[in-house]
């Protein structure tokens, strides 16, 4: 079983609480894992363990630490959305990009990390992973259904690392026009992969949320993600 612990990540703005998940081997390449809008909840802990099972040291910072450090909702239905949207609406993306940079730097220096460090995120975290890829040039990046990407297409030319995107074709929070615009903006960029799960909605990877979960789409996307991380991080 992977070893999970709560740690802090030093940053110029203060210590960021985070979850650290280390594989059985005790070491491996690193992945900074960025939460959905629901915080570092059981689902994100599951994904951290999923990464550790594949040989990665996963670090999930609590991105809302300036607002409510321990914020986490085990979202199961529509009634959970307004609370999460309210907290997410108070989060400053510039602070988030800086925090991901601090997490990348900290993870790279940890003794458990042997190899390069990448970043991945889901929903809110998919947007943060995209923006962090532009700002910090990690070894690679994986972005699942980041709804802020369409409004930040001007950042795409700053991304030089390999980056993989995942979207659902029936996502009510992310227009297909944004995906088309991303395709157009990245045409000819050999470092970019875009995958669209036909018929899948938002947050289709979240197996703990019956409102969103799509096991078939999730399995297909994770197979692509696993191969991508192995190719660029060596896990």
Catalytic residues: 123, 171, 202
> What is the spatial distance between Cα 69 and Cα 39, in angstroms, rounded to a whole number?
9
* Cα 69 from chain centre: 18
Q: Which residues pair with 7 in a beta bridge?
A: 18
CB-based burial label for 91 (10 Å; 0-12, 13-18, 19+):
middle
Contact yes or no for 116/29 (Cβ under 8 A): yes
Q: Which tokens sit at 188?
A: 């000819």
> What is the spatial distance between Cα 94 and Cα 22, in angstroms, rounded to a whole number?
28
> What is the spatial distance between Cα 107 and Cα 111, in angstroms, rounded to a whole number?
9
| Element (DSSP H or E) covering residue 130 | helix 124-136
């Amino acid at each position: 079983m992977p070893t999970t612990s709560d740690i802090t990540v030093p940053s110029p703005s203060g210590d960021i609480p985070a979850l650290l998940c280390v594989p059985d081997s005790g070491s491996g390449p690193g992945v900074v894992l960025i939460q959905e809008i629901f915080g570092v909840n059981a689902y994100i802990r599951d994904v951290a363990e999923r990464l550790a099972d594949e040989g990665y040291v996963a670090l999930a910072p609590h991105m809302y630490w300036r607002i409510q450090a321990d914020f986490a909702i085990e979202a199961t239905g529509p009634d959970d959305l307004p609370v999460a949207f309210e907290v997410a609406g108070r989060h400053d993306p510039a602070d988030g990009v800086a925090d991901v940079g601090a997490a990348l730097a900290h993870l790279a220096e940890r003794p458990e990390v042997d190899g390069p460090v990448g970043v991945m995120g889901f929903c809110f975290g998919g947007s943060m992973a995209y923006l962090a890829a532009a700002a910090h040039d990690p070894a690679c990046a994986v972005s699942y259904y980041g709804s802020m990407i369409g409004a930040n297409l001007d950042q795409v030319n700053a991304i030089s690392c390999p980056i993989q995107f995942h979207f659902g074709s029936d996502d009510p929070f992310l227009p297909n026009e944004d995906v088309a615009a991303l395709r157009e903006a990245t045409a000819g960029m050999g470092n970019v992969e875009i995958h669209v799960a036909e018929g899948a909605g938002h947050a289709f990877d979240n197996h703990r949320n019956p409102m969103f979960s799509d096991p078939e789409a999730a399995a297909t996307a994770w197979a692509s993600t696993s191969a991508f991380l192995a190719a660029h991080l060596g896990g």
